[in-house]
Structures are given as structure tokens and as C-alpha cells.
Amino acid sequence: MKIALNLLQITLIVLLLSSFHNQKKEIFNLTIDVKELRNSKGTVVFALYNREDAIPDEHYKKYLKKLTGKIVNGNSTVTFENLPAGKYAVNILHDENNDGKIKKGMILPKEGIGFSNFQSIGLSNKPSFRKASFDLQSNKALTIKIIYF
């Protein structure tokens, strides 16, 4: 049985195939550096978020991706690869005792923490996804300050 395709059918097939081809998402890398850690104990936990409700995330349960970086001479660097364009935020923990959790005193963390777009943290400057987020539209490198209380 032969099936003859008319010009309209051929045009629809070509348009459909080209729309699938054009939907290919651009993929980027995000490199995060932290410098001047107070010591080289433990590791650094880098958590990447892409949701409004994700930060704060004290127990590291709402992240999109999480990487652990080694500390060399008080610095650590990781690269999140293959990220589609979008809005992201980063939360970092200098996990000095390597337990994967934020060690806290009465209220404040005893280990260093950091967020994208934050140079300080306080009662009037609490981290949120909205404040920490940035657009990723190309390969990007960020240096994030670690804050010790």
C-alpha cells in the first residue's frame, strides 16, 4: 500500500521536525569560588537552588544540585555543569566537621555560611531565594563570601 503525501502534509512534517530541533535548550556551566576560609578543615558544601521556596534551607533538602568541594589553602571551587538557562541561587557551608549539617550555637551558626549576592547576613538582611538569585544565560563564575559569626 502506497501512501502519497501532499504538499500540505510535507510542510506540516517539516515544521514539526524543525520545532523539535529549535526547542533544544542551551546548557551552561556555573563555577563557584570561595576564598579566605578561616581554616582548611573539613569540606565546603555548595547547594544550588532554582525555586522561590527553597531558601532558607538549613537542612539541605530543597536543593536542585549539591556538590562538595575540597579545601586547598583556604579556598574551594566547584563547577555545576549542564544547567539550562534560568534563575538560580547558591547556598554554601564551610562544613568544618564534615557532618553535612550546619553546626549551631544557641542561634547562630558556628561554621561559615554564604549565599550568592550576600556580603553580610543579619536580622534585617536574611537570605531568601529572591535576594540570592541571579540569571544564568551564559557560562558564569561567581565568588561568594563566607561569613563567620
68 is a domain residue: yes
As to burial, measured by CB atoms within 10 angstroms (0-12 exposed, 13-18 middle, 19+ buried), residue 55 is: buried
Grid coordinates given for 54:
527553597
Model-level pTM? 0.82
Q: How many domains does the chain have?
A: 1
> Each residue of 22-34: pLDDT tens digit?
556 899 999 999 9
2 is a domain residue: no
As to burial, measured by CB atoms within 10 angstroms (0-12 exposed, 13-18 middle, 19+ buried), residue 114 is: buried
11 is a domain residue: no
71 is a domain residue: yes
12 is a domain residue: no
149 is a domain residue: no
Q: Which domain holds residue 107?
A: 26-143
Q: Where residue 74 sits, what CATH number does that domain have?
A: 2.60.40
- Is the per-residue pLDDT at 149 higher than 60? yes
63 is a domain residue: yes
- Is the per-residue pLDDT at 37 higher than 90? yes
Task: Find, among 28, 27, 50, 32, the residue nearest to 141 by Cα.
Answer: 32
> Each residue of 84-106: pLDDT tens digit?
999 999 999 999 999 988 998 88
**Does a cis peptide bond (omega within 30 degrees of 0) precede residue 109?**
no
21 is a domain residue: no
- Average pLDDT estimate for 121-141: 93
